[in-house]
Amino acid sequence: MDAESAGCGGPTGIVRPSGEVSRATRGIRDDARAQVLVRHARLMSSGRPTVCKPSRAEIEGRMPSPGRGSDGKVIYPDRESAEAAARELELLGARALRAYLCRRSRHGHFHLTTDAVAERSRASLAMRIPRQRDARSA
């Protein structure tokens, strides 16, 4: 099956210099973001980014889950890779992101999450200062 017939009407992978389309970015809608993930994320043998999944012990209830919202996040092998990906994704229009150590990982992998503090500091000063009412309109 070629990239055009993959189901979404357009290329779903990165075109390599040889002309071959990589399956690494299949399922990622934006090619620029897909390239960032391929550059920085931990990859499976197929070339797709590895995602965090619950262990068998968590599924069977023998071990507590680290909480909601932790499944399916892209795994970055170290903090530097995660932070580099965050900066590149922000340049592509993503919200402010920060790297954090996954509580599920035994060997120390990282994920990205939105950074509310940085988002608030991005707001312009005019947006943070309350507007005064005009005395004439009162």
pLDDT average per 10 residues of sequence, the chain (138 residues): 36 45 58 90 91 84 73 89 94 90 83 77 61 65
Per-residue pLDDT, 3: 38
Residue 105 backbone phi and psi in degrees, to 5: -75, 140
Per-residue pLDDT, 94: 86
Provide the angle, in degrees to the nearest 10, between the axes of the packed helices 31-40 and 79-91.
Answer: 170
Beta strand residue intervals within 1-129, DSSP E: 97-101, 110-114
Per-residue pLDDT, 16: 46
CA distance readout (Å), 7 to 11, 30, 34, 81: 9, 15, 17, 31
